[in-house]
Structure 1
Amino acid sequence: MQANKTFFGHPRPLFTLFFTEMWERFSFYGMRALLVLYMTQYLFNEAQAGKEVWGYAAIRGAIEYFFGPLNNQALSSQIYGLYTGLVYFTPFFGGLIADRYWGQKRSVYVGGVLMAIGHFLMAVESLFFPALLFLILGNGFFKPNISTQVGGLYQEGDSRRDRAFTLFYMGINLGAFFSPLVCGTLGQKVGWHWGFGAAGIGMLISLVVYHFGGKNLPESKTFYAKAQELKSDTKLTRTEWVRTCALTFLCLVTIFFWGVYEQQGNTLQLWADQSTDWNFFGWEIPSTWYQSFNPFIIFLAAPLLDRYWGWQARRNKEASTVTKMAIGCVMGTLALAVMLVAAKNVGDGRGSVLWLLGSTFLLTMGELYISPIGLSLVTKVSPTKIVSMMMGVWFLATFFGNYIAGYIGSYYDRMPKENFFLLLAVLSLAPAILFLVSHKVLTKALSKEGLNNPAPGAQRTVEV
């Protein structure tokens, strides 16, 4: 049977999902690279000059009702935080609808079509806010169901599963790497609409790949069906309650890190555009190329970290899960400390790109110490009856973290840059302290499940 044929030792449908996700991430990160610059440099200036942007007055009025008068940068940061936060909020409901009603394949189609519509609507200034709504809703259907189908290609206990997620993860970062180079360059050098249009074309290619290559994709068993099987035993034991509470606390603590991490698409992109010298032998490199550095570092660092942790494990010196997550938060603090020094040295001028790249390198390493580790923890120790709900808690923490990123970013132009980056550094240090203080309690609550830390790429894909 066609479905049983393999390619490089894996089911052929895996590579359909690889390229589907690669082009979807191309469209998502291409649009994200331009979003804050588009709002601050063009769209909201045009809206204030009288150009119609549907819903602008109502949304600005609602945000300023709670936070007071905002300049364009602060308003853009708030909207960026709401958008990126809701992108992580809607997958819970998209997965629920897929589990109970539509199934994963139909949900991926619906999500892809909605996102394609959203990307093309971004090319029309007046439809900016409806475009964001389409993207948020589309991502809610697409995100949880494309990743679940990867796992559905393998039987329980199949040793190829982790390697499959690693390949899938590489597709995500391949799309994220090239999109700022293409969409960002078109948006900044040719016209905003060209950049958003290129993102839309990427989404259409994703749908075409999925349609013609996905005929043999199975419908994985839904969480709803599993819940029905477990109906006779729905009560959690005391041990399960302890694990659930420990996991929930761990997820909530990461909110602070994500509030710092997501500045890469917000205030750090503004720093890249306004305070960084991108002149390369007379050619001005588009500042959106900065967004490609994060996936580039992941390509290099993820396999090396995998080997390093394996080397530690063989000597029984590998750090615990909680310690690793604390290390990730400390790296986030160091990343913003670099930007604090940069702000003092650069002032109101333009400084070396090495400040920005050094900070982003540390943030990316922090991500690799938190994202795959935390996600693996949720999937391994959550009680089977509520594993889907606990995954929703993880996404919910990311939602709050992204919104906090937007809220704090609104102060970027309203306080000295040194103070702003100091605030972010402290925000990342706080969860590190919480993890270290609660280390013994959390480890005791979770250690009985025999936790093993995965390769950085192997589990991160489900979240990205």
Structure 2
Amino acid sequence: MWERFSYYGMRGLLKLYLVNYLFVTYRQRFQGQAYDATGNPGDVFGWSVIRGFLPDVDPATLTQCVNEKVGLLVQGDPTRNIAPMAADMAQSVAQQTCSMQPVASAIYGWYTGLVYLTPLFGGYMADRYLGQKRSVYLGGALMALGQFVLFGAENLFFLGLLLLIIGNGFFKPNISTQVGNLYPPNDKRRDGAYTIFYMGINLGAFLTNLVCGTLAQNNGWRYGFLAAGIGMVLGLLIQFFFGPSTLAPDTLKKREDSKGEAQAVVKEENEGQRMGALVILCALNIIFWAVYEQQGNTMQTWADEKTVWPVIFGFQIPSTWFQSFNPFFIFLFAPILDRIWAAQAKSGKEMSSVTKMAVGCIILGLSFIVMVGGAQMIGGGKGSVMWPLVCTALLTIGELYLSPIGLSLVTKVSPVRFVSMMMGMWFMSSFFGNILSGYIGILYTKWSPTNFFLLLMALGVAAGLAIAAFNKPLRKAMGNH
């Protein structure tokens, strides 16, 4: 839960932080504060090198974006406590924020991608040397340190990101593997266990944007990072005091004494076929994650710039609360789907894991029909929060059909001696998908919102159909799971 608190805290703030503060001269230290000209992106260590690898916005798109934004800034935005500003000031602010949109989108994609690449290495290290429990402690400590670096030294922003990425690599595959270790290899309760696990980690995702997002947008960006770091420390303490008595033993490969002879490992039946099928399935999931990760990228931009957020008892709900919609719907729908699948399993009518994942992709794609309708209704203005709310509700159902089912499938199909490494392979599909999401997000500034959301819809449905096309051979290779 606390790892998700840390990760989603960063995920929800990252793009807004880059566009409105870190990489621009005209800054907002927190939402509602007047812009000042105190920023200097060159002070961020490594910026001059990294900037050369990131995309620029094309002139026509930049002009269109600036014209739209200047009008909003001159009028002011009461929903975000932005007072009307002079035209020349509005022009400068709009020029900078619009030019940073593709840069921030690419950085978002690389960050959210790399946190899913390093689990391949972290899983291997756990299987061969460290074990799952020690890897979880090491990863959590590095992630907490990364958040504290972001809080204390904004010029070391990229170092903070690096610590988060490496720490996540040790933490993520091994905390997931520990759930699978609680059950025998063919125990049908695994899918349900991973759905419950998915609910637990999303409790952290739900809370983080209420806490970190509110602190960041009302008190200062750095306080959002501080809260995320404190949350990670709390998670480590809970793991230390309560984990040893409740978790299964590690699956670390045992070694012989000083002679250095490895203990013999029994090769499992058809393990090459099963691992190959998992690799193919991971590749087919890349498009799912590329579309799904628009939540923290272009959908967060929509929530910030195109959505009217309500005021409740005098409190203006910040746009970062959008990131809490998805985990809220996971709480709502996960137990319902778990009961449906359990009833289907008893009657022998439950869909296979691969079929569920195909259905999940198709539902994900169809969810963006809502945003297509919203974009057409709103036009150049702002619209109701119901558009992204309903889209996220449908998207979450698609996610529940794919993500926890995939986690469970990896632990069921992988050879025991490679289970953490194969969990890292599963997360590697998110690595490629999330990087792709950053570059897809650049199209948001180039295309009309309607066409952009139509693209997301088409990609999601196509991914589902591709998985369905490989359904039979994949199931056969994986023992009809």
Normalised by the length of structure 1, the TM-score is: 0.83
Q: Does 1:336 align with 2:368?
A: yes
Q: Does 1:186 align with 2:215?
A: yes
SS in 1 for 2:25: helix
Contact 1:105-1:219 within 8 A present in 2 as well: no
2:134 matched residue in structure 1? 106
- How many residues are matched? 425
Closer/same/farther in 2, CA of residues 391 and 345 from structure 1, 3 Å limit: same
Closer/same/farther in 2, CA of residues 298 and 152 from structure 1, 3 Å limit: same
State which of 49, 57, 61 in structure 1 corresponds to 2:48: 57
Deviation at 1:36? 0.9
User: Which amino acid is the alignment partner of residue 31 of structure 1?
Assistant: M
1:278 matched residue in structure 2? 309
Closer/same/farther in 2, CA of residues 46 and 217 from structure 1, 3 Å limit: farther
SS in 2 for 1:403: helix
1:77 matched residue in structure 2? 105
1:26 matched residue in structure 2? 5
Per-residue CA deviations over 1:403-462 (Å, capped at 9, x if unaligned) read 11111112211221112111111111211221232333333434xx353xxxxxxxxxxx
Cα distance in structure 2, aligned partners of 1:371 and 1:295: 13
Contact 2:214-2:318 within 8 A present in 1 as well: yes
Contact 2:185-2:412 within 8 A present in 1 as well: no
Contact 2:173-2:424 within 8 A present in 1 as well: no
User: Which amino acid is the alignment partner of residue 158 of structure 2?
Assistant: F
Deviation at 1:289? 0.8
Cα distance in structure 2, aligned partners of 1:28 and 1:107: 17
Closer/same/farther in 2, CA of residues 228 and 254 from structure 1, 3 Å limit: farther
Contact 1:103-1:219 within 8 A present in 2 as well: no
Within 5 Å, give how 1:130-279 maps onto structure 2. 130-151=159-180, 168-214=197-243, 216=245, 220-225=249-254, 229=263, 231=265, 233=267, 239-279=270-310
Q: Does 1:372 align with 2:404?
A: yes
User: Which amino acid is the alignment partner of residue 220 of structure 1?
Assistant: P
Closer/same/farther in 2, CA of residues 167 and 229 from structure 1, 3 Å limit: farther
Cα distance in structure 1, aligned partners of 2:375 and 2:408: 37
Contact 1:148-1:220 within 8 A present in 2 as well: no
Deviation at 1:29? 1.5
SS in 1 for 2:253: helix
Closer/same/farther in 2, CA of residues 308 and 102 from structure 1, 3 Å limit: closer
User: Which amino acid is the alignment partner of residue 50 of structure 2?
Assistant: I
Deviation at 1:32? 1.6
CA RMSD of superposed structures (Å): 3.1
Cα distance in structure 1, aligned partners of 2:412 and 2:385: 40
Q: Provide structure 1 residue ranges, at least 5 long, that are not aligned to the other structure.
A: 1-21, 452-464
State which of 422, 425, 436 in structure 2 corresponds to 1:404: 436
Per-residue CA deviations over 1:73-113 (Å, capped at 9, x if unaligned) read 11111111111111111122122223333333433332222
User: Which amino acid is the alignment partner of residue 278 of structure 1?
Assistant: W
Cα distance in structure 1, aligned partners of 2:351 and 2:194: 23
1:91 matched residue in structure 2? 119
SS in 2 for 1:198: helix
Closer/same/farther in 2, CA of residues 192 and 433 from structure 1, 3 Å limit: same
Cα distance in structure 2, aligned partners of 1:318 and 1:102: 37
Deviation at 1:149? 4.0
Fraction of identical pairs, as percent? 55
Closer/same/farther in 2, CA of residues 439 and 105 from structure 1, 3 Å limit: closer
Deviation at 1:316? 3.9
Deviation at 1:57? 1.2
Deviation at 1:383? 4.2
Cα distance in structure 2, aligned partners of 1:75 and 1:268: 16
2:458 matched residue in structure 1? 426
SS in 2 for 1:46: coil
2:320 matched residue in structure 1? 288
Closer/same/farther in 2, CA of residues 150 and 250 from structure 1, 3 Å limit: closer
